[in-house]
Structure 1
Amino acid sequence: MRFWKLAAVCVPLIAASAGAAKAEDLVIVLKNATGSVLNSFHTSPVGVEEWEDDVFGDQVLEPGESMELTIADGRDVCEYDMRFEFQGDELETTTDTQDLCELGEYTITE
């Protein structure tokens, strides 16, 4: 009888923690197919009105290079607004919206 009482308490807790485990970091490969240095890359889930922190941190993405990035926001969403800021005046800031879970890889072009 004691086993069943313990199971009645533990099973819902395990089920709840399994649901919470769905919120994972999103890993994508970003490729810079432009002729300019990409200085910063901001993302925000669709519907969030403010840009979140620069995913690059102190890094930049040189022309022709690619980088594996982790969007570690703990959310379980896939559709993100993205903002790309380039060095110099050659390319303007660019924005786009994509399902990053489905893509897994994104190439920024001029």
Structure 2
Amino acid sequence: MKKIQSSAEWHSIIDQSKKEPVFLLKHSQTCSISAAGYRAFEGFDTDIPKYYLIVQTSRPLSNEVASSLGIRHESPQLFLLKDGKAVWHANHYSISQSKIKSAVEDVG
């Protein structure tokens, strides 16, 4: 997993998603639910590139992600991006390895 902190990195991920699926997690360091989602995401074995941002230290970036994707901010929040948009997303306790696996299978 690679941490992102800038708008330029976010735009690079959007571009990358036009070539291959990409995951992005919005993570809160002060939330136990987010910690559980982070662990599930971190432990999910996949060839799909995985990125994350920390909401507390990258609030403007978190807001930009929400605005770009047209999906209201929540944390934790996991996106599977393809062709520059979110083809799947989950938040809170919906971030589990089984649901992530289903999303990957649906994307093909």
TM-score by length of 2: 0.26
State the structure with more CA Rg.
1
In terms of fraction of residues, the more helix-rich structure is 2
TM-score by length of 1: 0.25
In terms of fraction of residues, the more strand-rich structure is 1
